[in-house]
């Protein structure tokens, strides 16, 4: 490079020495500012809040029917129906009140790792080892074979780990072992937006509550939780605090924060405006990975399912464990609060689902 | 030659740090963890009464807690 060219763009009086000095002072200022953002922890702010009273949450229903591990479930907006998917290749729609199996559909591959109920309640989406996410309209006629009407919407180059409809039946968000997530038009199957940034499998996604706009969060094997803008495809925030795979991410009900569950046996809580981790839910006695989390309606309770077959209930504000929910006889793969917050459903590798209230 | 590339590298670094510093400044003026935490707490407390799993609900209003009638299949 010719010396004259290198000097272009240099301002008057600038030398290596002055730039170095400017560098040092900027670094110092940055450190100071970052320190200010970290002034206090969530549980310190919440010191004066009353402790949570004894919870009276018990198993109220046990849903039996799958013949292998239940990997995923989702509630219908009507607060009583739910859909579950399993390693047995089946997707079942249940009436949670009566335990009636309303629909049972067989998928072409085993390990249906993701399923979701459409907002209208008229369809479900599912996907897994087939690398595709399909939408199945639910027929009112129980004799009709629903699986025949299955429509492929999402196509990835590795397994589907999570899927969700956006605010309508018209769009579907998927995440995959191929490290990408994508937004699809259900009717045409067209790819509307793809999201790149993870450097390994994505294991979970969650859409921000509708009031807070068009963003979603993903977590995966690269130990990162990323927040995305659905319209631009941009990764707007990234958090790397876990020490192992992130198995699940879930927004706090206000949309201003989210929680994560990881193989490092901790669950963590991240505030989006402070742009940092504000709580870690861990105990020396908890050594098994956490696979799933969900909040109670007010966000005060965090239900977390673990590979030691239990569900721990954490006080989100105080960072302490309130109680444990026992019952499953194998890993808990998914926990989901019902739409009105009156019940929690858990899915497990023991082939059953439980509804707790 | 190396001193010139050092200079342009240093320039690039200064620009990047300036960008990061301006972002941090915005964050600090907008939000502190204490403020964000206070808002999270407020949300919890404001919605606590409606949270059935937290406070429990009067008997009869939680359909899952009601005894089920048996159906003859």
Weakest-pLDDT range from A33-42, A216-225, A251-260, A273-282: A33-42
A78-96 pLDDT per residue, tens? 999 999 999 999 999 999 9
Chain A nearest-CA residue for B69: A98
pLDDT reported for residue B12: 83
What's the average model confidence in pLDDT over A195-209?
97
A contact test, residue of B4, B10, B34, B37 with most A CBs within 10 A: B37
Q: Spell out which residues of chain B touch residue A40, defining contact as CB-CB under 8 Å.
A: 32-34, 37
How far apart, in Å, are the Cα atoms of A306 and each of A115, A311, A312?
Answer: 20, 6, 8
Nearest CB neighbour to B44, from listed A23, A300, A344: A300
Residue numbers of B between 9 and 68 with CB closer than 8 Å to A: 10-11, 13-14, 17-18, 20-21, 24-25, 27-28, 30-41, 43-48, 50-57, 62-65, 68
pLDDT reported for residue A340: 94
Q: Which of A126, A117, A119 is nearest to A82 (CA)?
A: A117
Weakest-pLDDT range from A1-15, A95-109, A128-142, B6-20: A1-15
What's the average model confidence in pLDDT over A298-304?
98
**Over 50: is that where the pLDDT of A3 sits?**
no
What's the average model confidence in pLDDT over A157-162?
98
> Which residues does A75 contact at the CB level (< 8 Å), separation at least 6?
A81, A82, A117, A336, A337, A338, A339, A345
What's the average model confidence in pLDDT over A201-215?
89
Strands A114-117 and A191-195: unpaired
pLDDT reported for residue A10: 53
B contact test, residue of A253, A298, A304, A354 with most B CBs within 10 A: A298
Domain ranges within chain B, ordered by starting residue = 2-55
| A253·B37 Cβ contact <8 A | no
A45-72 pLDDT per residue, tens? 888 899 998 898 999 999 999 999 999 9
- The rounded distance, in Å, linking the Cα atoms of A93 and A98 is 12
- The rounded distance, in Å, linking the Cα atoms of A258 and A225 is 10
- The rounded distance, in Å, linking the Cα atoms of A49 and A305 is 26
In a 13 Å sphere around the CA of A256, the CA atoms on its Cβ side amount to 18
ipTM value of the model?
Answer: 0.83
Nearest CB neighbour to A273, from listed B36, B48, B50: B36
Q: Spell out which residues of chain B touch residue A298, defining contact as CB-CB under 8 Å.
A: 43-48, 50-51, 54
**Model confidence band, residue A2 (pLDDT cutoffs 50, 70, 90):** very low
B13-40 pLDDT per residue, tens? 888 778 777 777 666 655 677 888 999 9
Q: pTM of the full predicted structure? A: 0.84
């Amino acid at each position: 490079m010719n010396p004259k060219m290198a000097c272009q763009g240099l301002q008057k009086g600038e030398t290596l020495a002055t730039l170095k000095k400017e560098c040092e002072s900027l670094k110092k200022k940055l450190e100071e500012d970052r320190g200010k953002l970290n002034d206090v922890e969530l549980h310190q702010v919440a010191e004066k809040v009353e402790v949570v009273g004894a919870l009276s949450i018990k198993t109220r229903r046990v849903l039996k029917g799958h013949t292998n591990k239940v990997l995923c479930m989702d509630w219908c907006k009507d607060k009583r129906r739910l859909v579950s998917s399993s390693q047995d290749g089946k997707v079942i729609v249940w009436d949670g009140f009566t335990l009636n199996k309303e629909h049972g559909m067989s998928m072409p591959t085993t390990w249906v790792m993701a399923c979701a109920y459409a907002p209208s309640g008229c369809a479900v989406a599912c996907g897994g080892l087939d690398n595709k996410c399909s939408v199945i309209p639910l027929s009112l006629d129980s004799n009709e074979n629903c699986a025949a009407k299955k429509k492929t919407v999402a196509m990835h180059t590795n397994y589907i780990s999570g899927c969700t409809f956006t605010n309508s039946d018209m769009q579907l968000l998927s995440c995959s072992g191929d490290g990408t997530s994508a937004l699809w038009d259900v009717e045409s199957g067209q790819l509307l937006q793809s999201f790149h940034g993870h450097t390994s499998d994505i294991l979970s996604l969650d859409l921000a509550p509708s009031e807070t706009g068009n963003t979603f969060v993903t977590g995966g094997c690269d130990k990162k939780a990323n927040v995305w803008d659905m319209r631009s495809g941009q990764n707007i925030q990234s958090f790397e605090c876990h020490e192992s795979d992130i198995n699940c991410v879930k927004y706090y009900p206000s949309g201003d924060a989210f929680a994560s569950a990881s193989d490092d046996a901790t669950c963590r809580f991240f505030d989006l405006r402070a742009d940092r981790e504000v709580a870690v839910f861990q105990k020396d006695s908890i050594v098994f990975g956490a696979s799933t989390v969900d909040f109670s309606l007010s966000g005060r309770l965090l239900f977390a399912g673990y590979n030691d077959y239990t569900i721990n209930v954490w006080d989100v504000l105080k960072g302490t464990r309130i109680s444990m929910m026992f019952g499953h006889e194998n890993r808990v793969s998914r926990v989901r609060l019902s739409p009105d917050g009156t019940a929690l459903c858990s899915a497990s590798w023991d082939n059953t689902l439980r509804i707790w209230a | 030659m190396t001193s010139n590339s050092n200079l342009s590298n240093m320039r690039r670094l200064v620009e990047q740090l300036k960008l990061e510093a301006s972002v941090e400044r915005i964050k600090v003026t907008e939000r502190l963890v204490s403020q964000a935490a206070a808002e999270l707490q407020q949300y919890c407390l404001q919605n606590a009464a409606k949270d059935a799993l937290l406070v429990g609900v009067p008997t009869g209003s939680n359909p899952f807690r009601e005894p089920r009638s048996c159906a003859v299949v």
